[in-house]
Structure 1
Amino acid sequence: MERAYRICASCVMDTSDSAITFDEHGVCDHCLTFETKIKPNWHTDVRGRTELDKTVARIKAAGKGRNFDCIVGVSGGIDSSYLTWLAKEELGLRPLVFHVDAGWNSQEAVNNIERLIEHLHLDLYTHVIDWEEMCDLQLAFFKSGLPHIDTPQDHAFFASMYKFATEHDVKYILTGANYSTECMRNPIEWMYYQSDAMQLRDIHKRFGTRALVKFPTTSILYHKVYLPYIKGIRVERPLNYMPYHKEEAIRLLKEKIGWQPYPRKHFESRFTRFYEGYWLPTRFGYDTRRVQFSSLIVTGQMAREEALEKLENPAYDPETIAHDKEFVATKLGVSVEELERYLHLPKRTYRDYRSQSRIYAIGAPMMRLLGLEIGGKR
């Protein structure tokens, strides 16, 4: 029996998340998780600043005598761009700007990264993913019927950064991940864990056509256990320890370095723009704006009424759909017609392929129990 449609009375998450639940007041479990698990343990006041200052001191000590004391993963989006400005200008760190080119950078992203390194006088290291392998892997994900076809790009980003840190003995990696704009997570049925190398390899084995020789891979055990506890490499999220308001950050970067904003979060990648703006809502009915807007609602950065009004319009600008379909198809070496055929393949979920989901199911609650992570089941 099909579930009746329902939307949260507090945010804009709805029953397009099949696992969503509501309390007697119509408030969803995403909001309740924020109020009971994240908010009480998320400190952006003097407590957070004290912890951040301690972390900064450790980073500076670890980097003493070296050309840089940490690496900052930068996509060109607002979170990573603001973090880079913050690290250099406010925290006094000497970061190496680390960028992974998976072949899908928008021109705006390229411009924004160039402006960052030019105005902040930082060095940029760009790791370029082998395009033939990347293309083959992304086509394999299209053919898999899964929702999370952006996994190859995300997996490559983090695997490359972890590998660089390991090879160069860099003890600190800074990322723009934060609770302020990302406190609500995409349901696992929308976006399965991008770090699951077992599933990535299984999908490529079934649908790929060439060997993955140069493509970087990682795993949950590698970056949750091996990096921090064996190699002593820490992944830090400085934006969680201070007030971070998205629109204020955009205004600052526009004024300071001429940074260019994007229509939506994650749209610095042309593939992600196609994937989140068109593919997910059209094929599966998953609109990631609901997660993004809901995060801003519960953190006081957006009114629910504004979010509902924005959701009345399509997730994707209709005028650019045809152009981006052609761009993605041409880039992947297929026809637009073939790309359209993928849109109508039988729908699959992460459960249809080999995975490390049991490890995630055991590890996530344990991390929360030990206080190493806060948040809910998603």
Structure 2
Amino acid sequence: KLDVRLHTYVMDWPTMKELQRAYLLSGVANLDVPQDHLFCAAIYQMARKYRVKYILNGSNIATEGADAPFSLQHTYRDAWHLKSIYRKHGRGKSLKKYPALSLWEAWMGLPGVTKINLLNYVPYSKKEAIETLSREFDWEYYGGKHFESRFTKYFQSVYLPRKFGYDKRRAHLSCLILNGEMTREEALAELARPPYPLEQQKEDESYILKKLDIDPATWQRILEAPPTPDDAYFSQQKLFNAARRLLGQKGLDRIKQRRYTARG
């Protein structure tokens, strides 16, 4: 209907499986890093290949502007952090088939490519967007934020509250309240309900553990172990902090701007 060319990037499953398994064993909070890093790296690959100048992003303040404290977790763009976790908890399989962002790509983006959060430039309503997509494109709502991914659905709805005591719905619903799409009373009523049926939660847990080769005893140890801080693993953060102290944030922004506007 939109006449847009679709390119599907198919990740090597054995590699992805081992990396995702390592993250579950790592004790860090953000288990979506393996797929989020892959999304970004794959998009950059396509941008380089086809010399794309603009990347449109659906991130927006209206529905995602109140995501702390989870948003304060370590960035998903840090390949050093990802590989540090894999070195400690992986089972030895090479990550050469996994596309990783370089240090420059992680912090400065691609030369000549501008990322635009398009929804921040229009009056955006989640309710109206759902109605328009359903009416114009026969789109079907999958029941919750990021529920299009079975893993993310379980991770955010079950694993995070159980192990870290953090329900991301609080932040998501707070945004809708601020955006005038929901009252506080309606949000509290939704929080009082399970994010999705308990039977489906059990099915998803069983499915994910089987796919990742995690036995019940190992899973119990994962749930009972104390959370691991992100800085327990090697990362690019100290290097970036040193560059910010040396150049200042304005200096880094000027470098980033030159990288965006100069074709490579």
TM-score by length of 2: 0.86
- 1:152 is displaced (CA, Å) by 0.4
Residue 61 of structure 2 corresponds to residue 192 of structure 1 = no
1:346 counterpart = 2:241: no
Three-state SS of the structure 2 residue aligned to 1:126 is: coil
Deviation at 1:366, TM superposition (A): 2.5
> Whole-Å Cα distance in 1 between the matches of residues 132 and 217 of structure 2?
43
CA separation of 1:180 and 1:197: change in aligned 2, threshold 3 A: same
The separation in 2 between residues aligned to 1:269 and 1:232, in whole angstroms, is 31
State how far apart, in whole Å, the 2-side matches of 1:336 and 1:157 are: 30
The alpha-carbon deviation at position 138 of structure 1 amounts to 0.7
CA-to-aligned-CA distance 1:173-211 (integer Å, 9 cap, x gap): 111111111112332577421111111010001111211
1:307 Cα shift?
1.1
The answer to whether the 8 Å contact 1:144/1:203 transfers is yes
Q: Kindly provide the CA deviation profile for residues 210-253 of structure 1, in whole angstroms up to 9, marking residues without a partner as x.
A: 110110111563154251xxx20111111111111001010111
Written as runs of structure 1 = structure 2, the 5 A alignment for 1:242-261 is 242-261=122-141
Deviations 1:318-337 (A, max 9, x none): 12121001110122133344
- Where does structure 1 lack aligned partners over 5 or more consecutive residues? 1-118, 373-378
- CA shift digits 1:19-43 (9 cap, x unpaired): xxxxxxxxxxxxxxxxxxxxxxxxx
Q: CA RMSD in A?
A: 2.4
Whole-Å separation in 2 of the counterparts to 1:224 and 1:180: 25
CA distance in 2, matches of 1:315, 1:323: 14
Structure 1 220/178 Cα, relative in aligned 2: closer, same or farther at 3 Å?
Answer: farther
2:77/2:106 contact within 8 Å kept: no
**How does 1:53-132 map onto structure 2 within 5 Å?**
119-132=1-14
Which whole-Å CA distance do the structure 1 matches of 2:240 and 2:196 have between them?
A: 32
Aligned AA for 2:100? T
Match of 1:318 among 169, 188, 198: 198
Give percent identity, aligned residues only: 38
Deviation at 1:170, TM superposition (A): 1.2
- Is 1:335 paired with 2:215? yes
User: Offset of 1:313 from its aligned partner?
Assistant: 2.0
SS at match of 2:8: strand
Counterpart of 1:217 in structure 2 is 100
Measured against aligned partners, the alpha-carbon deviations of 1:280-326 in whole angstroms (never above 9, x if no partner) come to: 00111011011111122222222111111111123343121210011
Question: What letter corresponds to residue 212 of structure 1 in structure 2?
Answer: L
Structure 2 unmatched runs, 5+: 257-264
In structure 2, distance between residues paired with 1:149 and 1:141? 6
Superposition deviation, residue 172 in structure 1:
1.2
Q: Within the alignment, does 1:136 sit opposite 2:18 as a pair?
A: yes
1:350 Cα offset (Å): 0.3
Residue 239 (structure 1) aligned to one of 119, 139, 144: 119
Partner secondary structure for residue 120 of structure 1? coil
1:295 aligns with one of 172, 175, 185 = 175
- Amino acid paired to 1:334: I
For the pair 1:284 / 2:167, whether they are aligned, the reply is: no
Corresponding residue pairs, total: 250
* Equivalent-residue separation in structure 2 for 1:344 and 1:144 (angstroms): 13
